[in-house]
Amino acid sequence: FENINFQNKRKYKIAFYVGGLMSALTSTNAWKIQEEIIIDLSERDDVAMILKLHPRESNNMDLRILNSFNNLKIISSEVDRSRVSKWADICVINDHSSVVFEPMILGKKVVAIKGKRIPSEKNKKSPLLNSSVNYITQSNEFNLENLSKANPYDDVTNKIAWGGNGAVDLAELFLKKYL
């Protein structure tokens, strides 16, 4: 149902999720590093990429060079992120985004990028640093062949996404509460 169909036969299907840019609502962003990775992969015939724009940022970004790449599809709020996660084999996200948990739970290859932090947050470490995601700090560390899959039962997912309650079947919880 409403699956994404974009160069599905390519060996690598990579989703890039743009986080909210630095504002009062966030402390970091890795967009510049994501853009460098996209440019590096733009001429590869074995790579298909989807760039999922952040709803707050989609109107403020200069995407002219990216729009010229044949192996990149740019989407915004017309497609929800779950469809993107379902399509992708590899998900690239900044290290300060709740988007990271869905592909982790799905056991995808997840790359978290340490973004530039605002000064008041510069000494804070991401909880993803010691998790099962592939953690990088610059674009030249991105290596398609050496990525490992995230552990769906990663302790960071349990602590942050599930609140220390372990994996929760949300449908079962809803029915219990409803009935």
Q: What are the pLDDT digits (tens) for 68-127?
A: 999 999 998 888 889 999 999 999 999 888 899 999 999 999 999 998 777 877 788 888
pLDDT mean over 24-32: 71
Q: What is the DSSP string of 21-79?
A: PSBTTBSEE-HHHHHHHHHHHTT-TTEEEEEE--TTTTTS---TTGGG-TTEEEE-TTS
pLDDT mean over 9-27: 79
Give the pLDDT of residue 11: 98
For 12-30, b/e burial (b = at least 16 CB within 10 A) is bbbbbbbbbbbeeebbbbb
Give the pLDDT of residue 62: 84
What pTM, to 2 d.p., does this model score? 0.88
In contact, 109 and 92? CB cutoff 8 Å: no
pLDDT mean over 18-24: 66
pLDDT mean over 47-59: 86
Distance (Å, whole) CA 88 – CA 66: 19
pLDDT at residue 178 tops 70: yes
What distances in angstroms separate CA 80 from CA 48, 51, 127, 144, one per listed residue? 18, 12, 25, 25
Render pLDDT for 134-174 as a digit per residue (tens, 0 to 9).
999 999 999 999 999 999 988 888 888 777 777 777 788 78
In contact, 13 and 89? CB cutoff 8 Å: yes
> Beta partners for 47?
12
Give the pLDDT of residue 137: 94
E strand or H helix at 175: helix 170-178
Q: Please tell me the chain's helix, strand, coil percentages from 3-state DSSP, rounded to the nearest 5.
A: 30, 20, 45
Distance (Å, whole) CA 108 – CA 105: 8
Give the pLDDT of residue 89: 97
Rg (CA), the chain: 17
pLDDT at residue 58 tops 80: no
In contact, 52 and 58? CB cutoff 8 Å: no
How many other β-carbons are positioned within 10 Å of the β-carbon of residue 88?
25
